[in-house]
Each structure stands twice: as structure tokens, then as C-alpha cells.
Amino acid sequence: MSTTLKIASWNINSIRARTEIVEKFLTEQSPDILCLQETKVCDGDFPETLFRRLGYDRIIICGQRMHHGVAIISRVPMREDERFDWQANGEARHVGVRLDCGIRLENVYVPAGGDIPDRAQNPKFGQKLDFIERMTRWSEQCGAPTVLVGDFNVAPLECDVWSHKQLLNVVSHTPVEVEALARLQQSNGWIDLGRHFVPAPERLFTWWSYRSPDWTRNDRGRRLDHMWATPDVAALATAHDVFKPCRSWTRPSDHVPLMTEFSI
């Protein structure tokens, strides 16, 4: 007998600043698990009461004051949590768990990489590439059925950005980042669930800059947030949604949530 498992992911850009819209999303969409990135809060100040009130009483946090931070919120059992330092400097950018169904769930926040796409001129760009390379080395040894979600901060396809030509030299869509992400994907045969359900060349965005005065009018977005799965788990996926309307909610994140439904 199969059961449905709904996994959502959202770069919330400060959980304490956006508790109202997180509650709205959980109430309306009712995922079983919510993976958060950029929580921007140390573990002791994480708003656990909100989630427990809504029935999400399994909470695993990898927090950091003011910057970064990831968390997995669940109403189904989780165990064996891990935290990999793919940034190699102690930043809180990963947390992973095992679910009772045997699936590993890895939640990651890849560094943005600064503004200049040159390792020599911009150390942050080099750190981003090194982060993805460390993920790739891990991925090569990842033998378990796994779902990998989070803000990858890379829009890999031409149709993943509003203008391939204008963003070709902009961090998040440069050829060197796209090639690094492709090596990560190939290292374990990861299935990109977003493009599995919404094939290219259809536009599919998850992020719109705060700098745009009317993001709905020009729709200058990028697909920076992703859900990947090993082929065995991807075969169980039955639906995938990107919740674009959340970008218009009160005090929104610049990212929107995405969710995949699995038949386990």
C-alpha cells in the first residue's frame, strides 16, 4: 500500500521576518516536510513554537546568527541528521536526514558567489565553485535513495533565466557555474524534478530580485532553487509545483517555495 509524501523547499530569507507567510503556506499546501534555507537565526532563537502548533513536531536546525542557516521541519519521523561543511569554513549551509521510508533528504544552501565571476578578483566566486566541487565528491559516493533540495544559486538552462544573452556573464548563470552544476548532476545521475515535470524550453523561475519595482510586469526571474532525486526516487515522483503567487504575499522572500509529491 502506497502513501503520499510531499516535500517542500523554500529559501525564506529570514524565518523570523516571514513567519506569517510560512504559516500561510503550510496551512494552504500542507507539505509533510519543509526544507528551509537562509533562515538567518541561531538555533536557540528558531521559532519552533509556530511549527509545533501546526503539527510539525520534528525540527532539525543548522543555524547561524544573521547569515545562512538551514532547517528541516517535518510531521513524519526523521533520524540520523548530518551536517556537511561543503563551504569548509563552518558556515551553516547543509543538513541531511534519513526518513523511515529509507530515503535520504539533503537540504543545501549553495553560496551566492558575489558579483564578479572571476576567482582571482572575487574569492566568493571561488568559494562557490569549490563548494559545488565538494558536493560533487560527496555525490559520487552517495549510494542511498536520495532527494537533494535547496537554493543552488545556479540557473543552469537558457530558459531558466529571463535573458540568457544578458545574464551570460552574471553570477548564477555563467558557463563555469553551469558546467560545475552539470558535473554534480552527472556524478550520481540526479534527475532534475523541476525539468522532469516542466520540460525545457518552457520558462520556469523560482527567484525574482527585490530590486525590480514590479516583478510581475517584467518577470525577470531565474530558477535558482532546485529539487533533484536519484533515479529510483525520481520514479516515485507524481507531481511538482512552483508556488509563484507566494512572491506577491506580504513581506515576501525573493524566492518562492517548490514542492514535489511522491508515492512511497
Q: Cell match 529510483: residue?
A: 232
What percentage of the chain carries pLDDT values higher than 70?
A: 100
In angstroms, the CA 187 to CA 167 distance is 26
Q: What is the pLDDT of residues 3-14, one digit of tens each?
A: 999 999 999 999
In angstroms, the CA 85 to CA 74 distance is 23
Work out whether strand 225-229 and strand 237-242 pair parallel, antiparallel, or are unpaired: unpaired
CATH of the domain at 67: 3.60.10.10
- What is the rounded average pLDDT of the residues 93-120? 97
- What is the rounded average pLDDT of the residues 87-116? 96
Q: What range defines the domain where residue 176 resides?
A: 4-263
CB 129 within 8 A of CB 86: no
1 band by pLDDT with thresholds 50, 70 and 90? low
What type of residue sits at position 207? W
- Compute the residue count for the chain: 264
User: What pLDDT sits at residue 35?
Assistant: 98
Q: What is the pLDDT of residues 20-70, one digit of tens each?
A: 999 999 999 999 999 999 999 999 999 999 999 999 999 999 998 888 999
Q: Which residues pair with 242 in a beta bridge?
A: 258
CB 150 within 8 A of CB 95: no
Q: In the numeric block, which cell numbers belong to residue 74?
A: 517535518
- What separation in angstroms does the CA of 261 have from each of 61, 157, 258? 23, 24, 10
Q: Cell match 530590486: residue?
A: 211
Q: Which long-range contacts (C-beta less than 8 Å, at least 24 apart) are formed by 217-221? A: 218/162, 219/162, 220/162, 220/163, 221/161, 221/162
Asked whether residue 204 carries a pLDDT value surpassing 90, the answer given is: yes
242 band by pLDDT with thresholds 50, 70 and 90? very high
**What is the average pLDDT score of the chain?**
96
User: What pLDDT sits at residue 152?
Assistant: 98
Of 62, 144, 141, 61, nearest to 104 (Cα)?
A: 144
Asked whether residue 238 carries a pLDDT value surpassing 70, the answer given is: yes
- What is the rounded average pLDDT of the residues 185-208? 98
User: What pLDDT sits at residue 188?
Assistant: 97
Q: What is the pLDDT of residues 135-166, one digit of tens each?
A: 999 999 998 999 999 999 999 999 999 999 99
Q: In the numeric block, which cell numbers belong to residue 165?
A: 544573452
Which residues 6+ apart lie within 8 Å of 151 measured at CB?
11, 37, 38, 108, 109, 110, 224, 225, 255
- What is the rounded average pLDDT of the residues 236-261? 97
CA 66 to chain centre: 19
What percentage of the chain carries pLDDT values higher than 90?
A: 94
Work out whether strand 191-192 and strand 94-99 pair parallel, antiparallel, or are unpaired: unpaired
Look at the chain and report how many structural domains it folds into. 1
Asked whether residue 212 carries a pLDDT value surpassing 90, the answer given is: no
